[in-house]
Amino acid sequence: MDLTGTRVAVLVEQKYEEMEVWYPVYRLREAGCEVVLVGPEAGKIYPSKLGYPAKADMAAADVTADQFQAVVIPGGFSPDYIRRSEPMLKLVRDAHAQGKPLAAICHGPWVLCSTTALRGRRATGYFSIKDDMVNAGATFLDAEVVVDGNVITSRKPDDLPAFMAAIIQMLGSGHASR
């Protein structure tokens, strides 16, 4: 699917899961998307759980949801840091309010727990955050990918092929242009 002209934010923070940042980045670029790594600080290098660097292209405080057709939230321990950044949460909240695809994998739904995005939705994530997701209003399902409205969730790195297929399908359907 050709997604040329589609701009996607991938959130980065320290201790991210390598596969959950780089697989989406490269797969989306392969589909023609412009991928922007958004972190708390532009130009800062955020190390993964194993130390692999991800340099933020832009700071969350300097972007708006209007600039992107979707937001991808990786897992690892980075969601716990992302949740501490009001500009990062504002980007996610605003994208959700605009009905844009929000895709979160593994511990990524933790960020959604700090918004209203999970309220009344079916979703999945890493099993250890199930209670947090349920307390945020989600019906938790144990599935490789769950799509409910504009929210796409997956459990773990093994689910990345299904996760990315769902993101690309949603972007290709024009859902992101709303």
Token pair of 3, please? 């997604």
Token pair of 99, please? 């009905």
Number of Cβ within a 10 Å radius of residue 122: 16
Q: What is the dihedral of CA 8, 9, 11, 16, to 10 degrees?
A: 30
Token pair of 110, please? 């933790």
In angstroms, the CA 113 to CA 25 distance is 23
Catalytic-residue membership of 107: yes
In the block, residue with structure tokens 């990524």: 108
Beta bridge partners of 8: 35, 70
Q: Catalytic one among 15, 96, 107, 156?
A: 107
Cα distances (Å, whole numbers) of residue 142 to 53, 130, 162: 31, 10, 14
Which residues belong to the active site?
107
